């Protein structure tokens, strides 16, 4: 693999920041704690069970209406999630990306909506829409106890020839650091 000079400088700066983190955040130290609300992919799996292209979607906090329906649609994915029964699951839009193909091109879309969780696949779930891609959903009492739940994700600006969908859930790189914050 070849790096450009500016890539090597950025990589060196990143490594230095990780190795010398204490200098960047006084009073800080390494931590072995698990990241808050991280999805454990060793015990949790996601399966796309339905994909529907929509021109309009009414959410709990906003309404999506495609202004250029001849070019784009919204994509509503329904997921089946297998998780440990009794363990809470938090899913945030900013942790989810969709890698896909349209025509001969490859693209990545950020998640713009996450529904509530349910224990039935065909139940209507309340969708939270997030223009900035920041927001999510956490399992409630019944869905925390369940070992299998369903959730919908929403993506915007999907082309007519969208195919080959791959869902990515962000995970920590296991480079944790405890910091005292700022004064």
Give the predicted TM-score (pTM) of the model. Answer: 0.78
> How does DSSP classify residue 67?
S
Smallest CA-to-CA distance from 76 within 147, 40, 124 is with 124
Helix (H) or strand (E) holding 145: helix 141-145
pLDDT 10s digits, 151-166: 999 999 999 999 999 9
Q: Sorting pLDDT into bands at 50, 70 and 90, what band is 178?
A: confident
Give percent of the chain with pLDDT exceeding 90.
Answer: 66
- Collect all residues with Cβ–Cβ distance below 8 Å to 165 and sequence separation of at least 6: 48, 51, 77, 98, 99, 100
Domain ranges of the chain: 1-30, 45-169
Spatial distance between the Cα atoms of 60 and 164, rounded to a whole number of angstroms: 29
pLDDT for res 174: 66
pLDDT greater at residue 170 or residue 32: 170
Cα–Cα distance, 149 to 142 (Å, whole number) = 10
């Amino acid at each position: 693999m070849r790096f450009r000079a500016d890539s090597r400088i950025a990589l060196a700066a990143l490594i230095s920041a990780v190795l010398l983190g204490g200098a960047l955040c006084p009073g800080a130290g390494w931590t072995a704690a698990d990241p808050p609300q991280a999805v454990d992919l060793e015990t949790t799996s996601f399966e796309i069970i339905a994909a529907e292209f929509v021109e309009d979607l009414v959410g709990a906090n906003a309404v999506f209406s495609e202004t250029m329906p001849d070019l784009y649609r919204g994509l509503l994915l329904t997921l089946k999630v297998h998780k440990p029964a009794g363990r809470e699951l938090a899913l945030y839009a900013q942790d989810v990306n969709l890698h896909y193909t349209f025509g001969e091109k490859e693209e990545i879309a950020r998640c713009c909506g996450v529904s509530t969780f349910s224990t039935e696949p065909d139940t209507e779930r309340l969708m939270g829409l997030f223009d900035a891609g920041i927001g999510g959903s956490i399992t409630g009492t019944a869905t925390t106890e369940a070992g299998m739940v369903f959730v919908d994700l929403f993506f915007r600006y999907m082309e007519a020839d969208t195919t080959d969908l791959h869902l990515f859930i962000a995970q920590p790189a296991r480079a944790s650091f405890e910091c005292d914050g700022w004064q």
